[in-house]
Amino acid sequence: MHAGTRRFVLFREDSSNSVVVFEKTIRCRTDQQSFKKSMSIDQAKEMSPKRALGFQARAVMVVMIAMHVACFAVIFVGFSWPALFVAIAMYVIRGMGVTTGYHRLLAHRSFKTNRVIQFLFSLAGGLAVQGGPLWWVAHHRAHHRDTDNDEDIHSPVTKGMWQSHMGWMMSNEAFHEQGSNSRDLFKYPELKFLQRHYVWILVLQMVGLFALGVLLSHWYPETGVTGLQCLVWGFFVSTVFLWHVTFSVNSVCHRWGRQDYDANDASTNNWLIGLLGFGEGWHNNHHYYPSSAKHGLKWWQLDVTWILIKGLCLVGLASEPKIPKEFRKS
C-alpha cells in the first residue's frame, strides 16, 4: 500500500437555486504504519522553514510600494479640474469593471451577456491593476470555498488585518492559484489574451492617460492640465484609492458591519464600502447568496453594480440575472 491522490468534486445548491461547484484534491495515505508515524499538519508547518519570497511576490511588493509613493507626485504636478475628472472617471470605469465583470459575471456567472460585453467589462477590470481575469476569478472562488478558515489567505479572522487587506498579495501563496479554479473560462481566448498580456495592457493605459492629458492641454490650456497630471491623478491616485476600497471588502467587511444572515463566516454588510465599492460592501448578503447578481437586498442598500446590470438587461445586452426568490419583485 502506498500514498496516492484522489479528486473529489462537490456540488452544493445555494439559496438562489444555482449550483456551486467545488473541486478538491486530497492526498490519501493508505500505508497504516507510515500514517501512524507521520506528524500532524500543524507540526509540519512549525518545523518547515519559511520559504523566501519568490520573484512574483517580490515584484508585486515593489509595484505596490512604487504605486503608493507615486501618489505623492501630485505635489509636483499640481491640480486641475480635468485631471480630477479623469481620476474619478477611471475610478468608476475600472471599479465597475471589477465588480460587474470580474466579480459578478466571471467569478459567479450571476447573469448572462454576449462575449463582446464580457470582454469589455473584463478589460475594464484588468485596467484596475488587480491581476488578470483568470487569476482574479480563481482566487475569488477559492475565497468562497475556504472563507475564514486556515486555507483562506486573505481572512482577517485567521490571518490578521494587514494580511487580509493587502499583505496576501505580496506572499508566495498568492501565486499558488494559477487558474485551477477558473478552468470554465479557459474556453474564451479573449480572456486568455487579457491574462497573458496583462502587463502590456497596463503600460498602454498609462501611455493613453498621458496622451489624453496632452490633448486636453491643447484643447483647454486655461485649465493648466498636463499629460503628467492626467497620468498621476488618473492612474496612480485613482488606482491606489480603488485598491483600498476593493481590499476593504476582504478586510473591513469581515470585521466591522452588520450580519443580517448566518453565512457561516465573519462576512458583514458595511454601508461605507457598499457606497464606495458600487454595492460590494453588502458582503454578508453576498456570502449568503453568492450567485445573486443583486447584493443590495434591502431597499436602502444602494447597489450601483446591480443598477448597471439591470440597465443592461433592459436594453438587451444582458439577461437571466440570478436573484434569490424572495427578492425577485424588488
Chain mean pLDDT for the chain: 86
- Note the pLDDT tens digit of each residue in 202-222: 999 999 999 999 999 999 999
Query: For cell 507540526, what's the residue?
Result: 43
What pLDDT, on a 0 to 100 scale, did the predictor assign at position 199? 96
Burial class (CB in 10 A: 0-12, 13-18, 19+), 302: middle
Q: Is the pLDDT of residue 162 over 50?
A: yes
pLDDT band at 171 (very low <50, low <70, confident <90, very high): confident
How far is Cα 50 from Cα 290, in angstroms, rounded to an integer? Answer: 34
Computed from CA positions of residues 142, 145, 148, 152, in that sequence, does the dihedral angle turn out positive or negative?
negative
How far is Cα 242 from Cα 88, in angstroms, rounded to an integer? Answer: 10
pLDDT band at 273 (very low <50, low <70, confident <90, very high): very high
- H/E/C letters for each residue in 53-104? CCHHHHHHHHHHHHHHHHHHHHHHHCCCHHHHHHHHHHHHHHHHHHHHHHHH
- Note the pLDDT tens digit of each residue in 233-254: 999 999 999 999 999 999 999 9
- Pick the residue with more confidence: 42 or 142? 142
What pLDDT, on a 0 to 100 scale, did the predictor assign at position 11? 38
Q: Is the pLDDT of residue 37 over 70?
A: no
Contact 213, 221 (CB under 8 A): no
User: How is the chain split into domains, by residue range?
Assistant: 55-327
What pLDDT, on a 0 to 100 scale, did the predictor assign at position 274? 97
The grid coordinates of residue 114 equal 454576449
Go through 156-177 and write b for each residue having 16 or more CB atoms within 10 A of its CB, e for each that does not.
Answer: bebbeeebbbbbbbbbeebeeb
Q: Is the pLDDT of residue 50 over 70?
A: no
- Pick the residue with more confidence: 154 or 275? 275
Strands (DSSP E) contained in the chain are 4-13, 19-28, 112-113, 318-319
Contact 82, 221 (CB under 8 A): no
**Tell me, what amino acid is at 2?**
H
pLDDT band at 181 (very low <50, low <70, confident <90, very high): confident
- Note the pLDDT tens digit of each residue in 248-272: 999 999 999 999 999 999 999 999 9
The grid coordinates of residue 222 equal 486655461
What pLDDT, on a 0 to 100 scale, did the predictor assign at position 266? 95
Pairing assessment for the beta strands 112-113 and 4-13 based on DSSP bridges: unpaired
The grid coordinates of residue 212 equal 489624453
What pLDDT, on a 0 to 100 scale, did the predictor assign at position 34? 37
How far is Cα 79 from Cα 120, in angstroms, rounded to an integer? Answer: 30
pLDDT band at 57 (very low <50, low <70, confident <90, very high): confident
Q: What is the pTM of this model?
A: 0.84
- Pick the residue with more confidence: 248 or 34? 248
Q: What mean pLDDT do residues 277-284 have?
A: 98
Go through 109-138 and write b for each residue having 16 or more CB atoms within 10 A of its CB, e for each that does not.
Answer: ebbebeeebbbebbbbbbbbbbbbbbbbbb
Query: For cell 472617471, what's the residue?
Result: 89
Contact 103, 140 (CB under 8 A): yes
- Note the pLDDT tens digit of each residue in 62-108: 999 999 999 999 999 999 999 999 999 999 999 999 999 999 999 99
How far is Cα 195 from Cα 119, in angstroms, rounded to an integer? Answer: 12
Helix (H/G/I), strand (E/B), else coil: 147: coil
